[in-house]
A and B are shown apart, each in its own frame.
Chain A
Amino acid sequence: MIGKLLRQPWVFSFGAAIAVWLATIAYTGGQGAGAILTAAFSFATFTIIVGLGQMMVITTGPGNVDLSIPATITLSGVVAMKVMDEDTGRMVIGIIAALGAATLVGVFNYGLIRLLRIPPIIATLSSSFLVLSAAISYGRGIRIKPPEPLAQFAETQVFGIPIMAFAVLALSIALAMVLSRTVYGRSVLAVGQNSRAAWLAGLNVDRTRFLTYVLSALLAGVCGILLSGFSRGAALNMGEEFLLASIATVVIGGTSVAGGRANVPGIWGAALFMYLLVTMLNTFGASAGIRLILTGLMIIGVIVAAGGEEQR
């Protein structure tokens, strides 16, 4: 039983997260243990949302990755704030507009990949340049505050855990169900393991990948809306840190980079680990340079400890 549990790829990321948290509170002598967790759940939820999207894309097979997530977050945040215009009555229409813009990005991405046969890494990179320019051009000018209910939703806590985290937990469970129980989810895994075999078996490879890129963009859109609610406004660099974070959480969380194997719990463990790691280094009073070096070494350390893919 325990042996089986230890072989689960996501155990590593949770183990690492707990170890880092314990080290932090050992240093502070137990002070702020709860507050640190609350903050971790707040900040990690954003990473988890986009991490789930990135996980789906990476699972559809080698070479598939979405580099347009940061730009999409920014675009969605800017569109949401601008359409809502601080008016609670316009919240729904703002959310629809932002998610619509994000969906367009996903459709455009897959169009480049499928119709122009551009490798996903370059396709999503090029489109992210266009998307970012669109966001900059559209979002020029003043900072607009989010409507009060949106900000409330992003900040409210129950027993020290933000309700946003519960919503994202529900989302994660739903996605895990989709992966294991629906035709689409099984198709994602099958296409990722061997797209040719999946095609021969009669699966619609194109549609599966198309839906996945749209899903990833959509989740980035959700992240953009919530993030601009949480940080009281959209900023043009708000998506920046999520490029590395989304990829790192997927891989540290035990999802196969070669595709075909997804791991939802691992995304949670990895996102919490990465946030707690930075908190720990801050608590220890490490300088910016040391913090960066240790973050890098930890990422490498976890991936080395978790081991790579077995040879095929």
Chain B
Amino acid sequence: MNRRFLRQALPFLTLAVVLAATFYVQPRTMSYFGLNLMLQYAVPIALATIAQMFIITVNDLDLSIGPFVGLVSCIGATLLLDNPLLGILALLVLIATYGAVGALIHIRNLPSIVVTLGLSFVWLGIAVLILPSPGGKAPVWLKALMGVQTPWVPFPIIAAIVIGVVVHLALMLSSYGVIARGAGGNPKALTRAGWSMLNTKVIMYMLAGFFGVLSGLALLGLTTSGDAHVADRYTLYSIAGVILGGGEFIGGRVSPLGAVVGALTLALAGSFLIFLKISPDWQIGAQGAILIIVLALRALVSYGEHKR
């Protein structure tokens, strides 16, 4: 078996192992209801991970996605509920802002880490202004969508597959996707071939904003009330999800299916650790350990894949 294949299969194998371990520790989770309960929060995490992946594709990093998802949940629980038209408009403005930030970063050649760091304060500030304390209510249709009972296969699994496949088709198989990934691989070559780096970056940032909005709405459908701080951990989850899924920080090497699988693994690992009855003190530590083990395996697999 060649290493390249093994490397791409690793995220899926990891998920299978974590899933098997969870079933072993708590056999009752091996049911429609159990899977639904364990994986429902994987949907917004997967969407945020995809958003982060678009930014990583063009060699940037988004440190603001967590607070952004929180802001969307606040807008969804207030404006979108009271005045749907205005709510949708606000969300569109947010996506446009993401695009503008992409343009600013490209034109002034700014470090994305710092700009998005600043941006994270802005999102959090707006969210706190809208909802100083958790509150509001999720629109009924959103709750219904996230609580839908699909036959045979639980909704979160179907949603994850749909998200992964759609983005995979768009980014990995379409000709525009090749250009987008090329923007991360070799921006100079792309510019010389006559493509606009500015356009590419703006589009990728707007896609990230779009998926960030989807993530916030999905999360709101589950939590049913808005909270500025609800998704603070998503920034780290999304970065870890992309990397767990086989993506790399530079060179446009990303994998949408892998990213979704990485997000599922992270969400599942949380439940698994609770079933293991590890002391709450070590819950976060155990998540760190899982990350390290998976990445160590990847290092083992790709060792010698390409000599440096």
| Residues of A near any B CB (own CB < 8 A) | 62-63, 65, 112, 116-119, 121-123, 125-130, 132-134, 136-137, 140, 244, 247-248, 251-252, 257-258, 287-300, 303-304, 307-311
Contacts and interface: CB of A to CB of B under 8 A. Distances in A.
A296 B121 contact: yes
Q: Is the interface of A mostly helix, strand, loop or mixed?
A: helix
B296 A116 contact: yes
B115 interface: yes
Size category of the B interface is 35 or more
B292 A116 contact: yes
B284 A247 contact: no
A293 B296 CA distance: 39
A63 B299 contact: no
A223 B291 CA distance: 28
Interface in B62-88: none
A133 B282 contact: yes
B118 A119 contact: no
Given A292-B121, A292-B122, A299-B118, A126 B291 contact: yes
Given A247-B113, A257-B114, A292-B128, A300 B284 contact: no
Interface of B: 61, 104, 108-111, 113-115, 117-129, 132, 236, 239-240, 243, 248-250, 279, 281-289, 291-292, 295-296, 299
The 5 closest A-B pairs by CB, nearest first: A133-B285, A129-B288, A296-B121, A292-B125, A293-B125
A122 B129 contact: no
B208 to A, nearest CB: 17
A118 B299 contact: yes
A310 B111 CA distance: 11
Contacts of A288: 125, 128, 132
Given A292-B122, A303-B111, A304-B108, A244 B292 contact: no
A308 B108 contact: yes
Nearest to B289: A130
B288 A133 contact: yes
Contacts of B299: 116-118
A257 B113 contact: yes
B253 to A, nearest CB: 12
Listed residue (B120, B248, B292) with the most chain A CB atoms within 10 angstroms of its CB: B292
B296 to A, nearest CB: 5
Nearest to A298: B118
A273 B114 CA distance: 16
B104 A136 contact: no
Contacts of A116: 292, 295-296, 299
A129 B287 contact: yes
A297 B117 CA distance: 10
Contact of B118 (A123, A287, A297): A297
A304 B111 contact: no
B117 A299 contact: yes
A62 B129 CA distance: 36
6 contacts: A63-B250, A126-B292, A132-B284, A292-B122, A292-B125, A310-B109
A300 B115 contact: yes
Contacts of A119: 243, 248-249
A298 B122 CA distance: 10
Nearest to A303: B114
Contact of A132 (B117, B285, B292): B285
Contacts of A297: 118, 122
A295 B285 contact: no
Contacts of B236: 125
A120 B171 CA distance: 27
A50 to B, nearest CB: 15
